[in-house]
Structure 1
Amino acid sequence: MNTKQEFDNLMAFAKDLINENLGFYYDVNYGYFQPETHPIVDFIRLIGRRIQSQLMLAPVLSGELDQLERIFSDNLFFDEWAEVTLDGQSFHYLMRQIDNNSKIINLARDLVFPSPWIPRKLRDSLIRIGEGTLNGSWRQDKGHEVTLWLPLGIAFVEGSGHHSVTAGIAKGEGELYPTSVYDISPIYDHVYTDGKHYFRKHDHSIISEVHFAECAAIFEIGRMMVEQKIIF
C-alpha cells in the first residue's frame, strides 16, 4: 500500500470516527456523558505511535544519528521556514504562541516526539531512570524543553532530554509541563495536503512531498478539529 492509499484510509477512518462520536453522544446519551478526551485526539495518538517508535529506536537500529536525520517540530510536516502565503510568510510565523499554564503532558498517554541519537545515552537512560532505579522515578528537569502544538495535542522535545523522555515513554511514567505552547490553526488557511504533497492554497504550488502518511493525516485531522472546535 502506498503513502496516498494509507493517507486516504486514515482520513476516512477519522471522518467516520467524528461522525459516529457525534451520533453516539447525541442519540444515546443525550449529552449526559462528557469524555475527558475526544476520540479523535486518541486517534492522533494512535496514528503517531509508529513515527514515535521509529524515532526512539533510530539510534539502536542505525547507530549515532546526525541532527539532519532527526524529526523536530520544524520538519514534521514540511520545512517550517518554507514560504506558504502570498506575502511570503512561513509556518513558523503563522503559529500563535499561547499561555501554557494549564497544559500537562502525560508521557504514558500523550503523543510526544523525542529524537534520541546516541545509543549509549539511550541505554543508560533505560537502566538508570524510572521507579525503583538508581535515579528514581521519572521527573522533568530544567533542561527538558518541550513544545506543544494545539489543537493536535502533540509535543516535541526541543532541547535536552531526548534520551530521558524516551525512557519515560517506554516505562509509561512521568508528566511534562510544556515550555512553549502554540496554536497552529492559522496554517490551515494557507496549506493543505492530498497525501502525496503539501500545497500552498493561494496558487496550489507544491511545498513538499509527503514522506509519512501518518504526518499528512495528522495535519489534515487538525483541520477537522479546527472546523469542529475540538481541542486537546
Structure 2
Amino acid sequence: MGNPTRLLLHGAGGRMGQALLRLCSERDDCRVVAAVSASQPSQRVIDGVPHFSATELGGAPDFDVAIDFSLPPGFDAILAACLARDAGLVSGTTGLSGAQHAALQDAGARIGVLWSANFSLGVALLEELVERAAGTLHGWDCDIVEMHHTRKLDAPSGTALALGAAAEKAGAQPRYASLRAGDIVGEHLVQFTTAGERIELVHRAGSRDIFARGALHAALALAGREAGVYRLRDMLA
C-alpha cells in the first residue's frame, strides 16, 4: 500500500466536516493533515489532527486534496490555497456566485477540481440512469418528486434540479413536486410515464454519512489525476 492521501478539511467545524474527520480516522488510505474552521480552535491538536482557523490557512502543511464544505465567503481562499499548493479541490459548498463557479472552472486548467451539490454516489449513478432513460424514452412524461425534512426551505432541491438537468440534456421536459415532512433525510423519485407504462427510478438516503463517504471517495479518486473539471459521476468507474 502506498502513502496515504493527505487531506485538508475546510469547514471542519460543520456537520460534514465532523463526519469526514470521523470517517477518515477509520481508514488507512488517507490522513487529515489540517482541519480548518471559521473560528479559532479551542485546541491545536485534537485526536492527532492539527486544527487551524480560516485566517491561518496559509500556515497549514502541504496536502494532496482539500475537501471544502464551508460557506461562500471562505471559498475563494481555499481555491487560492489549492492553486498555490498544486493540490486538488473537492467542494460541496453551496450558494457560490457565478464568478466563483467561473473561477473554479478556470482553476481546472491547473489542478483537478470537483464541485457537487450532492455527494451521494447513488445519486450520481441515478443522474446517469435518468439521462439514459430520457434519451431513450422520447415523448414520455418525466416527473421528479423530492422529499426532505421540514427544515429544508428550498424547493425543488438542488439534487432534483440536477436530475432534471440530466433529463433535459437528453430531451425530456421534467416537472417537479416537493414534499417537506418529518425528518426525511432525502428521497428522489424520477418517473417516466406513457400510455400503459411507467418506469420509476428512486434513491433514498437513510443517513447523512453517505454524503461524507461520497466526498471522501471523490477526494481519494481525484488525488494524482490530471488537471481538469470533474463530476462525481466521473469517479464511479
TM-score by length of 1: 0.26
Higher normalized contact order (CA 8 Å, seq sep 6+, divided by chain length): 1
Larger strand share, 1 or 2? 2
Larger helix share, 1 or 2? 1
